[in-house]
């Protein structure tokens, strides 16, 4: 990463002589300038105009809504009207009335068979017990169903009340006839009565008498021939029939509440006239204007306070990032006040350009806003300062642009322009962060044009704004925006030449933080693997830089390449401290499955934590399709001892791959194997180290592990030389590798 002039000077002379460049007071003054820049840039667009009027006065001009304003009084009236139009809701309660008539007839049968009870006593029992059974049946039904969720309690109470009110009164003479019934008659009556009651209560009944009038006809059409039996069945069926449709007060109230909630609020949209010129300010109008902060005498400062908070939040985000990344503060800050001033100037220029673009918009040509070269700021920040700072800034530009360019929306932010700005800003960041010549800026501008056009097309299609000419103009302006951005960046770069510097992909620095959850997991759960990964990072970074590859990517990729081992840490030798090796007691094929799984397990864990694809690729590809020869020969030996022909080949003991697709993945794979191999040597010498490195590289080369990446033989020699120089000081204990083909493949 390029260091600015202030940083270089900071290493050459004491802080006391650095003047304003490292002065905390100057730094805080710059933070205040950022707040003022954000506040006054957005103020004309978010703070509404206020009016000096009083209740009962005459308005001298039309008062329009600066944003969508809700008329609370009219909305409440609309809600009450909607609720009043909701009709009462009736629900069905299935009482299973045929069970009641079954109980009564069964009771009659049992009592009539009892010779110890006189006829008079039976009549008296029927006269008192049968009406009580009706009430008891309802009470038991309510008790059984309350709280189970089938019916709400209010509905059950309503059912009990209405059903009891409509209880049928059995004629007195019917009770005198009941003792005459025989068992055969009662059995016939039971079947008929149940069918009649079941049939009549399947319909919705709010009044039981409606169904009771049909009982006589159905009884006469039944198979009962005895007159007395028919009369009793008729009365008992009428008695058992109850209403089954009841007012559900709770559901009705819920429907009315829902109707209120679904009522469309009465609003004044942006630009609608609230008060016409010459209109008297009524109490209701005055309250509406007051609640909307449109009156001067009320001294409402909420919009100003909200804008100030938003501006402070922008500055806090920028300051927090700069401090956490070491950009400011500390003993050796990355950026001095000169760089903060440059950042302020970039923001100022970008916001001014957005403001100028907003002036070209009209109600009929809002698409002119897509011409804004909003990616200018993020390109300059990426080239001159920091990639991550540019990403953060792109979100701030997006929010501010969605406010400044908002002309027709009834909301504070216009998502169309906000989305467009964030897309072109991010496209510029990722297109320009490796720029090494000015032509790359033009290429980045073309990428901004393409992504900006695609974002506009997507938004217009999603919102179905497909009128031909506005659609063409919107896409054309978005495309022109990228080219204009590139021209402005090329033109402004000489102005910032004294602090110009191209940075590497610093996102990798963030991922290399030991406090990352995955790295902390690696350290706490598999300390041996963690130490191994750190050493591999040191080796691979130096080797990658020797051949012009991305050394930082190799280092960070090494940190994560064995993260999959955290799923089964004890199966990897570097994590086995004073414990037996579990591989000594399990089948070699199972050992192989456990070992090779760590690559795919690691990829899944990295995906779950949104680790970039380049690092996931290293974790997946660092073993390629190499063979676990140790377990292969162990399996061969077992088959030989058992006297059976091996049902497997060496290919069954290989990693699934894929092979290394990039130089970085190949270098990490070599460094991984070298680190493990060298630490297995008891008393390594320079000759042993050199021989081991060449042996590993040659083995992988002969195994065609580098066929899918662009490593050359010359580069492999440079890698070998770099690794030899880096590993001389490594003397950690490892399992000794057998010679030749019985070399045990390290489980890393």
**585 Cβ contact list (under 8 Å, min separation 6):** none
Q: Are 653 and 627 in contact (CB under 8 A)?
A: yes
Q: Are 89 and 266 in contact (CB under 8 A)?
A: no
Q: What is d(CA 417, CA 460) in angstroms, rounded to the nearest whole number?
A: 11
Give 293 or 621, the one with higher predicted confidence: 621
What pLDDT does 508 receive? 59
Give 672 or 281, the one with higher predicted confidence: 672
What is this structure's pTM? Answer: 0.40
**pLDDT digit string, tens, across residues 24-39:** 888 889 899 999 999 9
Give 572 or 256, the one with higher predicted confidence: 256
Number of alpha carbons in the 13 Å side-chain half-sphere of residue 252:
14
Token pair listed for 709: 């990446």
Q: Are 563 and 619 in contact (CB under 8 A)?
A: yes
Give 268 or 697, the one with higher predicted confidence: 697
Residue 588, H or E segment: helix 588-608
Q: How many residues are given for the chain? A: 748
- Percent share of the chain, pLDDT over 70: 87
Q: Are 66 and 273 in contact (CB under 8 A)?
A: no
Token pair listed for 245: 């449709």
Q: What is d(CA 103, CA 119) in angstroms, rounded to the nearest whole number?
A: 20
What pLDDT does 396 receive? 92
What pLDDT does 434 receive? 61
What pLDDT does 21 receive? 64
- For 698-726, give the secondary structure using H, E and C: HHHHHCCCCCCCCCCHHHHHHHHHHHHHH
Q: Give burial (CB, 10 Å; 0-12/13-18/19+) of 453.
A: buried
DSSP labels, 277-321: TT-B--HHHHHHHHHTT-BTTTT--HHHHHHHHHHHHHHHHHHHH
**pLDDT digit string, tens, across residues 635-673:** 888 777 777 777 777 788 888 878 888 888 999 999 988
| Sign of the alpha-carbon torsion through 547, 552, 555, 557 | negative
DSSP character at residue 564: G
- pLDDT grade for 177, boundaries at 50, 70 and 90: confident
Backbone angles phi, psi at 70, to 5 degrees: -90, 130
Assess whether the previous peptide bond of 658 is cis (omega < 30° from 0). Answer: yes
Q: Give burial (CB, 10 Å; 0-12/13-18/19+) of 269.
A: exposed
**pLDDT digit string, tens, across residues 678-688:** 777 767 777 88
**pLDDT digit string, tens, across residues 316-353:** 998 888 888 776 765 556 677 777 888 899 999 999 99
What pLDDT does 498 receive? 40
What pLDDT does 503 receive? 31
Q: What is d(CA 285, CA 275) in angstroms, rounded to the nearest whole number?
A: 8
The number of angstroms, rounded, from the C-alpha of 162 to the middle of its chain's C-alpha atoms is: 51
DSSP labels, 18-53: SGGGG-HHHHHHHHHHHHHHHHHHHHHHHS---B--
Q: What is d(CA 159, CA 149) in angstroms, rounded to the nearest whole number?
A: 16
pLDDT over 60 (residue 40):
yes
Q: Which residue's structure tokens are 């709770």?
A: 250
DSSP β-bridge partners for residue 239: none
Q: What is d(CA 689, CA 381) in angstroms, rounded to the nearest whole number?
A: 45
pLDDT over 50 (residue 188):
yes
Taking the domain 510-742, which CATH number applies?
Answer: 1.10.3210
Summarize the confidence of residues 72-83 as an average pLDDT. Answer: 85
Token pair listed for 737: 């590798």
Summarize the confidence of residues 93-111 as an average pLDDT. Answer: 87
pLDDT over 60 (residue 2):
no
Q: Are 335 and 322 in contact (CB under 8 A)?
A: yes
Residue 64, H or E segment: strand 63-64
* Among 72-81, 85-94, 419-428, the range of highest mean pLDDT: 419-428
Q: What is d(CA 525, CA 605) in angstroms, rounded to the nearest whole number?
A: 15
**pLDDT digit string, tens, across residues 397-417:** 999 988 888 875 556 788 888
Q: Are 385 and 366 in contact (CB under 8 A)?
A: no
How high is the mean pLDDT of the chain? 81
Q: What is d(CA 257, CA 250) in angstroms, rounded to the nearest whole number?
A: 11
pLDDT over 60 (residue 73):
yes
Number of alpha carbons in the 13 Å side-chain half-sphere of residue 400:
29
Token pair listed for 78: 């609309």
pLDDT over 50 (residue 7):
no
Q: What is d(CA 304, CA 426) in angstroms, rounded to the nearest whole number?
A: 30
Q: What is d(CA 166, CA 173) in angstroms, rounded to the nearest whole number?
A: 21
Q: Indicate the domain borders of the chain.
A: 5-44+302-499, 90-247, 510-742
What pLDDT does 202 receive? 87
pLDDT over 80 (residue 437):
no
The helix/strand count (H/E) of the chain reads as: 30, 6
Summarize the confidence of residues 44-57 as an average pLDDT. Answer: 76
**pLDDT digit string, tens, across residues 519-568:** 888 888 888 888 888 888 888 888 988 888 878 888 888 898 888 888 88
Q: What is d(CA 349, CA 370) in angstroms, rounded to the nearest whole number?
A: 17
Summarize the confidence of residues 459-476 as an average pLDDT. Answer: 84
**pLDDT digit string, tens, across residues 131-144:** 998 889 888 888 88
- For 723-745, give the secondary structure using H, E and C: HHHHHCCCCCCCCCCCCHHHCCC
- Answer left, alpha or beta for residue 572, where phi above 0 means left and psi between -120 and 50 means alpha: beta
pLDDT over 80 (residue 54):
no
The count of other CB atoms within 10 Å of the CB of residue 578 is: 4
What pLDDT does 201 receive? 86
Q: Are 586 and 571 in contact (CB under 8 A)?
A: no
What pLDDT does 279 receive? 82
**509 Cβ contact list (under 8 Å, min separation 6):** 325, 552
pLDDT over 80 (residue 305):
yes
């Amino acid at each position: 990463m390029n260091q600015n002039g202030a940083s270089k000077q900071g290493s050459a002379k004491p802080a006391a002589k650095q003047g304003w460049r490292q002065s905390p007071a100057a730094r805080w003054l710059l933070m205040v300038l950022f707040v003022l820049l954000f506040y006054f840039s957005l103020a004309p667009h978010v703070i509404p105009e206020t009016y000096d009027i009083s209740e009962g006065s005459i308005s001298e001009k039309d008062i329009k809504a600066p944003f969508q304003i809700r008329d609370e009084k009219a909305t409440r009236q609309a809600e009450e009207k909607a609720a009043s139009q909701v009709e009462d809701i009736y629900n069905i309660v299935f009482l299973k009335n045929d069970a009641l008539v079954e109980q009564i007839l069964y009771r009659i049968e049992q009592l009539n068979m009892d010779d110890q009870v006189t006829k008079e006593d039976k009549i008296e029992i029927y006269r008192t017990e049968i009406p009580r059974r009706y009430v008891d049946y309802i009470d038991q039904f309510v008790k059984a169903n309350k709280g189970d969720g089938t019916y709400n309690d209010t509905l059950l109470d309503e059912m009990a009340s209405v059903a009891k009110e409509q209880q049928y009164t059995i004629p007195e003479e019917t009770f005198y006839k009941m003792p005459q019934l025989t068992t055969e008659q009662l059995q016939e009556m039971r079947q008929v009565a149940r069918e009649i009651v079941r049939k009549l209560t399947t319909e919705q009944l709010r009044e039981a008498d409606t169904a009771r009038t049909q009982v006589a006809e159905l009884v006469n059409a039944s198979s009962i021939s005895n007159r007395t039996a028919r009369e009793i069945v008729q009365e008992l069926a009428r008695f058992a029939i109850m209403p089954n449709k009841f007012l559900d007060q709770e559901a009705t109230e819920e429907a009315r509440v829902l109707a209120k909630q679904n009522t469309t609020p009465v609003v004044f949209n942006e630009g609608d006239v609230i008060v016409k010129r010459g209109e008297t300010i009524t109490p209701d109008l005055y309250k509406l204007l007051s609640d909307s902060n449109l009156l001067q005498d009320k001294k409402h400062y909420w919009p100003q306070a909200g804008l100030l908070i938003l501006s402070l939040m922008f500055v806090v985000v920028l300051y927090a990032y700069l401090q956490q990344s070491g950009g400011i503060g500390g003993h050796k800050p990355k950026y001095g006040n000169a760089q903060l001033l440059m950042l302020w100037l970039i923001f100022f220029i970008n916001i001014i350009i957005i403001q100028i673009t907003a002036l070209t918009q009209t109600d009929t040509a809002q698409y002119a806003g897509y011409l804004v070269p909003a990616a200018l700021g993020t390109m300059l920040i990426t080239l001159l300062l920091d990639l991550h700072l540019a990403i953060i800034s792109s979100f701030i530009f997006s929010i501010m642009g969605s406010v400044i360019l908002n002309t027709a929306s009834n909301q504070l932010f216009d998502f169309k322009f906000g989305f467009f700005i964030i897309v072109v800003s991010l496209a510029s960041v990722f297109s320009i962060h490796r720029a090494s010549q000015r032509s790359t800026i033009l290429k980045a501008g073309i990428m901004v044009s393409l992504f900006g056009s695609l974002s506009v097309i997507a938004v217009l299609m999603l919102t179905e704004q497909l009128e031909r000419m506005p659609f063409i103009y919107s896409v054309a302006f978005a495309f022109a925006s990228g080219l204009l951005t590139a021209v402005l960046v090329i033109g402004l770069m000489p102005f910032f030449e004294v602090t110009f510097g191209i940075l590497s992909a610093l996102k990798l620095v963030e991922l290399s933080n030991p406090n990352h959850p995955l790295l902390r997991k690696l350290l706490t759960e598999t300390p041996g693997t963690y130490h191994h990964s750190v050493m591999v990072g040191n080796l691979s970074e130096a080797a990658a830089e020797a051949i012009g590859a991305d050394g930082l990517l190799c280092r960070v990729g090494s940190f994560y390449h064995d993260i999959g081992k955290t799923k089964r840490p004890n199966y990897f030798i570097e994590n086995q401290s004073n414990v037996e090796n579990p591989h000594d007691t399990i089948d070699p094929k199972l050992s192989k499955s456990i070992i090779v799984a760590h690559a795919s397990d690691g990829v899944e864990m990295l995906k779950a934590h949104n680790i970039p694809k380049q690092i996931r690729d290293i974790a997946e590809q660092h073993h390629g399709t190499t063979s676990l020869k140790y377990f292969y020969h162990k399996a061969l030996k077992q088959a030989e001892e058992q006297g059976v022909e091996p049902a497997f080949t060496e290919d069954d003991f290989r990693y699934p791959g894929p092979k290394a697709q990039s130089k970085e993945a190949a270098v990490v794979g070599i460094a991984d194997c070298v680190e493990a191999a060298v630490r297995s040597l008891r008393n390594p010498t320079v000759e042993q180290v050199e021989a081991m490195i060449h042996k590993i590289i040659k083995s992988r080369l002969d195994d065609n592990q580098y066929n899918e990446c662009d490593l050359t033989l010359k580069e492999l020699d440079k890698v070998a030389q770099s690794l030899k120089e880096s590993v001389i000081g490594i003397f950690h204990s490892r399992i000794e590798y057998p010679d030749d083909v019985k070399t045990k493949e390290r489980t890393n």
